[in-house]
Every structure is written in C-alpha cells, then in structure tokens.
Amino acid sequence: MNILILGSGGREHTFAYKIAESAHCDSLFVAPGNAGTAQIATNVAISVTDFEAIKALVIKETIEMVVVGPEDPLVQGIYDFFKADEALQDVAVIGPSKEGATLEGSKERAKEFMMAHGIPTAAYQSFIPETLAEGQAFLETLQPPYVLKADGLAAGKGVLIIQDIEEAKSELAQMLGGKFGDASTTVVIEEFLDGIELSVFVLTDGKEYKVLPTAKDYKRIGEGDTGLNTGGMGAVSPVPFVDEAFMQKIETQVVKPTINGLAKENIEYKGFVFIGLIKVGDEPKVIEYNVRMGDPETEVVLPRIQSDLVELFQAVSQGKLAEQTLQIDERSATTIMLVSGGYPEAYEKGKVITGIERVEDSIVFHAGTTHKDEAIVTNGGRVIAITSFDTNFREAIKKSYQNIEKLHFDRMYYRTDIGFDL
Ligand code: AMP
Ligand code: GLY
C-alpha cells in the first residue's frame, strides 16, 4: 500500500525508516519531511495542518494509510476530517480522534480523565481568570515548589515550576492574563511530585493495546539537566530502573485503566498514547498524556520493535490489535541529539553538515535538515539524532559519541552526559 507520514522531525524519519522496511509498503510519502526522509521516501511540501492539501495528495497518490507524527493535526481533528469525508473514510489514520487528542490538548481534561478512571496522578485544581484570587489562595495552601500548567498546547513551554510563593502568584496572574494566549486562559495548579521521570508508550486500537518499550529523555539543554527546556536532547530505551514488578504496576494502575477509560467514554483512538510518569518511591504517577510518539524517544523505541510496523498499524486500524504479537530487540538503544548553537532560543539555519557518510554502526536520524544544492544543511534547532544499540546501554551511548566526532556543522552543540543519571 501507499503510505503517508505527516511531520518533519527525527520522529518522522524514524517512522519512515521502519515503514520503508515493511514488505507492505509500496510508495512512501512524507509531508513535509526532511533531508533524511528524502533518501527513503518522497517528500511533499505540505503543512501538517493543511487538511485540504493532504486530502488532495491522498487522492492523487492513492494513499491508504496516514501516520500522524505531531500533535497539532490530531488536536485539530485530522482523524475526524478523514472519517467524515466519503473519499477518505477508508484510509487508515494512525492517531486518535479529536476527542481522544484532548488528552494532550487540554491538561484540565487529562486530569479529569485520570480522576474519573482512578489513574494515579498529582492532586490539582484548575483556575480561570475569574477565579484568580481563589487560585492564589490555593497556592498559599501548598508547599513549594509550585507547579503551574497552561491548559492548552504551548509548544512545550506551558509548565512552570516555581520555588517562591510570590513569584508563583504573579505567574498565575500573568498566565491567566494571556501569557500563553488562549492556551493559558485555564491554568492547572498541581502538587509537585518528587521522583524520577520515565515514559511509557502504548499502541492501541481503542480496545486492546500493546505496551511498547519504555524510554527516558533528557529535556534540558545543559549538562546535568540544567538550563532551558528543549524538545529533548537524547534518550535511552529501555529505562534501566524499571524492573518487571514496576512495569506490572504501570500496566495495572495506569495503562489498563487508560485504555478502558477511552473505551468506556466511547472515544475512537487508533494510535499512540505516550504516558509521562514520575516514579515516586515505588509508585507510578502520571504527569501527562501525549497522543503521539515522543521525539527523541521514537528514535530509540521504534528501532527496538522488530515486528512489522505496517502490519501493526493495519491491525490498529481494523480493531484487530489483539491478534498481533510484538517482537522487541532486547538490546538497549540510545540516541544523542545534535542541535544548532543557541537552541532552544534563537539559532541560525543553513549550516552545511558534513561527515554523515562516515558514521558506522549507528543510525543517523535527521530532524531539522534540508537540501541546499548538493549539500545537507541545518534547518531547525534539533538537527540530527544518532541512535546506537548495544546489550549495555553505556556502550551504546559510547558508540553514538564516537560517531558524533565525525560529524560537523557550524556551532553544533550536544550534551555529553546523556544517561549520566542511570
Ligand atoms: P509536562 O509538559 O506536563 O510534561 O511537564 C513538563 C515537565 O514538568 C515534566 O517533564 C516534568 O519534569 C515537570 N512536571 C510536570 N508536572 C510535574 C509535577 N506535578 N511534579 C513535578 N514535576 C512536574
Ligand atoms: N520528548 C518529549 C516529547 O516529545 O514531548
């Protein structure tokens, strides 16, 4: 079948890499894609939220499956757009319905869902501009640090963790006053959870599910987890501190009630659930849901899946996931992200990248890259992810770092301590 992947990052290059391997894939398209996807698929210069242009492409190229990478098109209802259109309704869309996507699109909605289905999470209350005073009074009842979350999508910047009570009260006022536009006209204030973070990924057809490998990403720009938040600077899978007993707890207390909750609420959901967790003592607590795969977590999770990804997706789309088995590579996978100097603040694009062809025994996943004449040049903050395997995750990390030595672009930056805390 002909398949379209929506998105342009390392996550989408990884999807393309896995899907291109499948015997079920005839022609593969990526919109808009990057220089990496261009090597294995046809890039089409269409925005991921231009549904009419996507429709025209799907019809023209007789595409039978659309795999949605980022959250924006999902939150805007691309699944429902396809199902409501006579010409598109038979196309398999891998991603939840608009209603399912509210689990990521609204933090308040996600908290209500967790409460309704008995899923462990931090205690919280939510506030709107009219209840600012109550919100500030609520902060007074909590211990620092204070966790303030913009309800809507804020490009990963909507969560603030603040030590000082006066600053927290003032931030709350600014957020409700429109600091993040419409995204922060509702603010969730929640209990601070002290523990180690990890992510669990689930593929579901809305009734059955498969738990995919766990991963941990490194969100901060600086060594030792310091500095500004980024999309992610590296990742490791599996997470070494997750043993079978803890995984069992996650499945029973979090994964099952989440999937059952979707089914009980009659929510169409044929895609990924990315569950952000904090391990508090020995207990898993959910900090967030995302309705897509993570980036750079995808760059370590998908390469470990040995089963045919297209077969899994077909089963998801047909509601037959129960019939599938999941084969996982037991080795660890690690990825290190190379970023543009200045990222996550202002950075320059268009820097020539050299050395990719010299990489050995690691996989180069392109993120923000494009072609300029004959060269591959930088085209974003996160530029390239270098994924490596080994039975020992420290050896895998070493391989990635050895290969990074061969790569160059002006003001290239990466963290040298991925996995330091494991
Ligand atoms: P989120 O966008 O919800 O993933 O939050 C961004 C980051 O804030 C998370 O990755 C955590 O590091 C942190 N965070 C969110 N909620 C909490 C919480 N209740 N307690 C402690 N840290 C949190
Ligand atoms: N790496 C975190 C995310 O994709 O949201």
**Hey, what are 222's tokens?**
């600086």
**In ligand 1, which atom is closest to the CA atom of 191?**
19
Please tell me if the CB atom of residue 193 comes closer than 6 angstroms to any atom of ligand 1. yes
Q: What value does the mean pLDDT take over residues 351-376?
A: 97
pLDDT score, position 363 = 98
pLDDT in tens, 382-407: 999 999 999 999 999 999 999 999 99
Rounded Cα–Cα distance for residues 132 and 128 (Å): 6
Q: What is the mean pLDDT of residues 21-43?
A: 98
Residue 420: pLDDT above 90? no
Tell whether the model's pLDDT for residue 156 goes beyond 80. Answer: no
Helix and strand element counts for the chain (H, E): 14, 23
**Top-tier CATH class for 124-190:** alpha beta
Could you state, in order of their start, the residue ranges of all structural domains in the chain?
Answer: 2-97, 124-190
pTM of this prediction? 0.95
The answer, yes or no, to whether residue 314 has pLDDT greater than 90, is yes
Local confidence band at 181 (pLDDT 50, 70, 90 cut-offs): confident
User: Is pLDDT of 356 > 90?
Assistant: yes
The token pair that represents 19 in the structure block: 């899907």
The pLDDT value recorded for residue 154 is 83
HEC secondary structure over 168-186: HHHHHHHHHCCCCHHHHCC
**Residue 158 beta carbon below 6 angstroms from any ligand 2 atom:** no
Architecture of domain 2-97: 3-Layer(aba) Sandwich (3.40)
Closest Cα to atom 2 of ligand 2: 294
- Overall average pLDDT of the 46-60 stretch: 98
Q: Which pLDDT does position 198 carry in this prediction?
A: 93
Structure tokens at 150: 């913009």
**Cα of 156 to ligand 2 centre, how many Å?**
8
How high is the mean pLDDT of the chain? 96
